[in-house]
Structure 1
Amino acid sequence: MTGGHSPGVRRRRLSAALKRLRGDSGMSAAEVAKRLGWSSATKVTRAERNEWKFPKRTDVEALLDLYEVEGEEREHLLSLTEEARGRSDWHQYADLFPGSLPDLEAEAVRIRSYESLLIPGLLQTPEYAAAVFEASQVVPADTIQRKVASRMARRAVLDSPNGPTFIAVIDEAALRRVVGSHIVMAEQLRFLAGMAAHYKVTVLVLPNEAGAHTAMDGAFALFDFPSPEPGIVSISTGVESLYVEDGEYVDRHTLIFDGVHNLALDPRKSLDLIVSIAAEHDKRA
């Protein structure tokens, strides 16, 4: 389930482009609406905030005419409009991903993740993922298997030729925490060690000896997209995921990630520690 593109992310890109074009034109949303004969400025601002379901080609063409966009840029934005009207490969899991996480993963060129208590979702085994969902007590029992299946399917993005590279910095505490059972943990860590050999995956362990660090406030992920698309920071809570595109916010989290990245063990030492802790779980199983 890798897909050629994500309609959800195409809509986000189109909205960002239209907002930029209006800014370059110097017109207010009210002036744009008036000149196009639209009933209110709300139609303009909703499009720019990506609050539309299916962009209308005629509306986008009218905006591009007003902003005097021609040539390759016009063709590109009209192509985005058509692609944005499609349906995501993940529509059957739409109720599980209100924040369009799979679409963001599919469109990103790089994902950087810091996890303090968990193995990253893209690197989890089914048994580990099920234990996490069961322990949360906020996931209905009848949807746990769908959640697990969707999480496993997401991993296909790493095998896609156009998929992102993935850099995961994982706190040692996540490797030692017993999720499910020692058997589940041993299998999870062996799988993690195997994924560390994937050509698009880098797994780094932040050892306990690193002490206090820049990401003490918790886990997050950074999504980088093709230039000039802005990056996104994702922060998950027990009940929702927040996705923030603010440039300053992204820059601050980039510095935070760089901090833990610099303190983490190198890939070889990280792998050795993962294998060692897996053996400890085996002994206690």
Structure 2
Amino acid sequence: MVRLRLASIKGRWVMRRAGSPTVRRRRLASELRRLRERAQLTLEEVGERLGWSATKLSRIETSRVGVTPKDVGLLLDLYGVGGSRKDSLLKLARDARKKGWWQAYSDLSSEYAAYIGLEAEAASMCSFAPLVLPGLLQTEDYARAVVRAGFVLASPGEVERRVEVRMARQAVLSQPTPLSLWTVVDESVIRRPVGGPEAVRAQLKQLIEVGSLPHVTIQVLPFTAGAHSGTSGAFEILEFPDRADPDVVFLENLTDSLYVESETDVYRYRVAFDHLRARALDPDQSRYLITQTATEFD
């Protein structure tokens, strides 16, 4: 039996994918930018007419900050949008201001909270992991070792909060309409003794179990593959069920996160991932290698 569960946050069972305010905010930002361009107005011209700074409007249009329904109404009036179209966008603005369960952890990182919001709404994810397993596949002990090593200045309480939210995120794989996950992991990932032999052995056994789910595909990129298209580092490609929400690539380093949304750039990452899975062992061969590696930690 695969040990995945719905997220329990402070005593509440959380049904994921009920709709992410993070995704709604991105959609609203995209619509507001498109309407401004259709009205042939610059950021400076809109700011001058509404008494706003161009910076404020730019941050709204890039979804870096939220926007109140009142401000959305002012923008729509300026752009000449009315009727049912205005009503639907105002509703989208109200929905975008609702809080997801992950907002309770925004003190850890606002960027992390934003990422969880996107992950909660994604229909599929392609992930390349050259150093450690993706958070959606980690056991609690493995996750704790990764967090302790990666956040060397974190207090024990912060470490446990990060582990808690990482476990809660895994509900996307066990809900009625689960996230479709395709991940390619470097061979070094399954051989690295993260948390010690016992933790790795349990992690690899769970990896085999999760990999048997019909919506999860796990491939191992062997050392013999040599140089490959993922040498620049880890990345994740998230695809959403609504065509109004463009695909996004998520990149992360020690101090910052980056979202790549340009259609051309996202395509380049898709090509890179296609090359990676073509060079990797197929799922059956990968499962065999993971199984054999787990016995080495006995």
Instruction: Tell me how far apart the structure 2 counterparts of residues 40 and 257 of structure 1 sit (CA, whole Å).
Output: 40
Identify unmatched segments of 5+ residues in structure 2.
1-13
> Bigger shift: 251-260 or 66-75?
66-75
Assess, with a 3 A threshold, how the Cα gap between structure 1 residues 279 and 244 changes in structure 2: closer, same or farther: same
- The percentage of counterpart residues that share the same residue type is 40
Q: Deviations along 1:43-101, whole A, 9 cap, x unmatched?
A: 43332122433x22232123223333356644432221111111121122112242112
Q: If the length of structure 1 is used for normalisation, what is the TM-score?
A: 0.90
Cross-structure match for 1:113: 127
Q: Deviations along 1:112-152, whole A, 9 cap, x unmatched?
A: 10001111110000000111122232433331111111100
Runs of 4+ in 1 over 4 A off after TM superposition: 70-73
- CA deviation after TM superposition for structure 1 residue 26, in Å: 1.4
Question: Does structure 1 retain, via aligned residues, the 8 Å contact 2:72–2:93?
Answer: yes
> Bigger shift: 207-216 or 71-80?
71-80
- CA deviation after TM superposition for structure 1 residue 42, in Å: 4.1
Equivalent residue for 1:165, pick from 163, 173, 180: 180
Name the SS of the counterpart of 2:107 in structure 1. Answer: helix
1:65 partnered with 2:77? yes
Equivalent residue for 1:23, pick from 37, 40, 49: 37
Name the SS of the counterpart of 1:90 in structure 2. Answer: helix
Structure 1 residues 257-268: aligned runs within 5 Å: 257-268=273-284
Q: For this pair of structures, how many residues does the alignment match?
A: 280
Question: Does structure 2 retain, via aligned residues, the 8 Å contact 1:108–1:163?
Answer: no
> Bigger shift: 194-203 or 59-68?
59-68
Cross-structure match for 2:268: 252
Q: Deviations along 1:240-260, whole A, 9 cap, x unmatched?
A: 332222333222211211110
Cross-structure match for 1:32: 46
Residue 50 of structure 1 aligns with an amino acid whose one-letter code is: S
Instruction: Tell me how far apart the structure 2 counterparts of residues 233 and 47 of structure 1 sit (CA, whole Å).
Output: 20
> Bigger shift: 74-83 or 104-113?
74-83
Equivalent residue for 1:77, pick from 72, 75, 89: 89
> Bigger shift: 175-184 or 232-241?
232-241
Equivalent residue for 1:88, pick from 96, 100, 104: 100
Instruction: Tell me how far apart the structure 2 counterparts of residues 215 and 29 of structure 1 sit (CA, whole Å).
Output: 37
- CA deviation after TM superposition for structure 1 residue 24, in Å: 1.9
Cross-structure match for 2:65: 52
Instruction: Tell me how far apart the structure 2 counterparts of residues 268 and 239 of structure 1 sit (CA, whole Å).
Output: 37
Instruction: Tell me how far apart the structure 1 counterparts of residues 275 and 26 of structure 2 sit (CA, whole Å).
Output: 30
Identify unmatched segments of 5+ residues in structure 1.
none
1:129 partnered with 2:143? yes
Instruction: Tell me how far apart the structure 2 counterparts of residues 132 and 151 of structure 1 sit (CA, whole Å).
Output: 11
Residue 275 of structure 1 aligns with an amino acid whose one-letter code is: T
Instruction: Tell me how far apart the structure 1 counterparts of residues 128 and 65 of structure 2 sit (CA, whole Å).
Output: 32
Name the SS of the counterpart of 2:184 in structure 1. Answer: strand
- CA deviation after TM superposition for structure 1 residue 153, in Å: 0.4
1:274 partnered with 2:287? no
Equivalent residue for 2:226, pick from 204, 211, 216: 211
Q: Deviations along 1:186-207, whole A, 9 cap, x unmatched?
A: 1100000111122321111111
Q: Deviations along 1:174-219, whole A, 9 cap, x unmatched?
A: 0011111111111100000111122321111111221211111211
Question: Does structure 1 retain, via aligned residues, the 8 Å contact 2:205–2:294?
Answer: yes
Cross-structure match for 2:254: 238
Cross-structure match for 2:110: 98
Assess, with a 3 A threshold, how the Cα gap between structure 1 residues 76 and 205 changes in structure 2: closer, same or farther: farther
Question: Does structure 1 retain, via aligned residues, the 8 Å contact 2:145–2:195?
Answer: yes
Assess, with a 3 A threshold, how the Cα gap between structure 1 residues 58 and 162 changes in structure 2: closer, same or farther: farther
Assess, with a 3 A threshold, how the Cα gap between structure 1 residues 156 and 31 changes in structure 2: closer, same or farther: same
